[in-house]
Amino acid sequence: MIAAGEPAPDFTLRNQDGEKVSLSDFRGEKVLLVFYPLDFSPVCSDQLSIYQEVKPEIEAKGVTMVGISVDSGFAHKAFQDKLGIDTQLLADFEPKGEVARAYGAYIDKVGHANRSLVLIDAEGKVEWVHESPTPLEIPGANLIFDALASANAR
């Protein structure tokens, strides 16, 4: 897994609407990458639904949150609609999992990312990471706010 202090590898992926999104588009603001295993698995649904409920508070701290999984943009669109969320979802689809690999979040034997959170600062440097012990464990939204609070205290 990538570590705090390292430069965040840039990437360009398509979102749920087929638009290209690059990490560098966000330069000047903080970004929270939410790597998750798969669309439509019940556990993921809870994670992104819960984060959606505190999205205004995350954005109030100047952070844009994006979800990333190996699913296609079409699956992402349907997943977004199903969950009723408007968090942007990026398709790490081809080459499969390339971005997750670059961040060290990919699990080869299962073919998808682990549940990992990566907070990137305004200059494109990794500020904080959290890796779940297993994909079954959902990181609470409180951890994101702890990370933001300690980043602000520095």
Q: Where in 78-107 is the site for another protein (CB under 8 A)? A: 83-85
Which residue, among 62, 58, 60, 34, has the nearest Cα to 48 in the 3D structure?
34
By CB atoms closer than 10 A (0-12, 13-18, 19+), residue 22 is exposed
- Does 122 bind another protein (CB under 8 A)? Our answer is no
- Residue of the chain from 108, 133, 142, 154 that contacts another protein (CB under 8 A): 142
- Residue of the chain from 6, 19, 25, 57 that contacts another protein (CB under 8 A): 57
Q: Which run of H or E residues covers position 91?
A: strand 88-91
* Helix 42-53 with 141-153: angle, nearest 10 deg: 50
- Does 6 bind another protein (CB under 8 A)? Our answer is no
44 catalytic residue (yes or no)? yes
Q: Name the minimum Å distance from CB 147 to another protein.
A: 9
Using CB under 8 A, list all residues that contact another protein.
43, 45-47, 49-50, 52-54, 56-57, 60, 83-85, 138-143, 145-146, 149
